[in-house]
Every structure is written in C-alpha cells, then in structure tokens.
Amino acid sequence: MATSPQFAATVKTPSVVLNTTSLGVRTNGATATSLLITGASSGTKVTQISAKAQTSNTATQILIFLTDTTGSSATGRLFDEITMTAVNTSTTSVSSRIVNTYTDLQLASGQSIFVSSTVSTGTTAINVWASAGDF
C-alpha cells in the first residue's frame, strides 16, 4: 500500500464533436479520427469516456484509439469501442448516452486518445467526452 497516494492535481473534461461523413476504421487510428485528450508531462489518468448523440442517431461504434508517446494519430491502435444503438428522440425520449469506465487507463506524457465513428455523423453529431486528471 502506498504511503503517499497520489491524486489528480488538475481535473480535465475534454470533449470533441464527431460531425463528419468520413468513417473511422478499426485498423487505422489516423482515418477520420479526432483528438480527445493528450497526456500531460506528469501523466494523465482517464476514468471515463462517454458518447452522447445530439439528436436521433443510427447505430454506430465509437472507436477509441491509443497512441504512443509521439501523440500521432498514425501510431494509434484500437483500445476500446463504445456501442451506440439507434435511438429516435422526441419531446418525451432522450438521445443516446453511453459511458465506458476505466480503472487502468493512464496516459504517459505525449500519449493521446483519438476517437471516430463507424457510421456517418454528418447529420447526427455525437459529443465524445473524457473524464480525466493530470498527476
């Protein structure tokens, strides 16, 4: 057990809007991806990544890529996915929101997370959020 546990010194809640007709692919972290967060010089712990459709949405996978310490999307490898089922919103039903929780996702200095969608979000934007803290 640590005698001096370390807690986040700086809280971060970065977000990105996926709003494109380009499709992400599981085998390439540089295809149609958007930068969500980059690890601070002291390291960053990510506890959640969530996706929230702005309106009705078709079923899609939100792809989560983790890079090496260069932070280049070209080095991104598929780390996880968020499954979003199709939802039709109205005045009495809400849009889809899915949260993936992590206990072990820590970014080294310069390491980045990029995200993309497997279907076009050109007409249905999706907000992707991270809950994180720098050490």
Quick: pLDDT tens for 64-111: 999 999 999 999 999 999 999 999 988 888 888 999 999 999 999 999
The pLDDT assigned to 63 comes to 97
The pLDDT assigned to 2 comes to 56
Give domain limits for the chain: 17-134
Question: Distance between CA 90 and CA 55 in Å, rounded?
Answer: 9
| 4-36: pLDDT as tens digits | 656 678 899 999 999 988 899 999 999 999 999
| 108-130: pLDDT as tens digits | 999 999 999 999 887 889 999 99
For residue 28, give Cα distances in angstroms to 24, 33, 73, 109: 8, 9, 9, 22
| Domain covering 17-134 in this structure, CATH number | 2.60.120
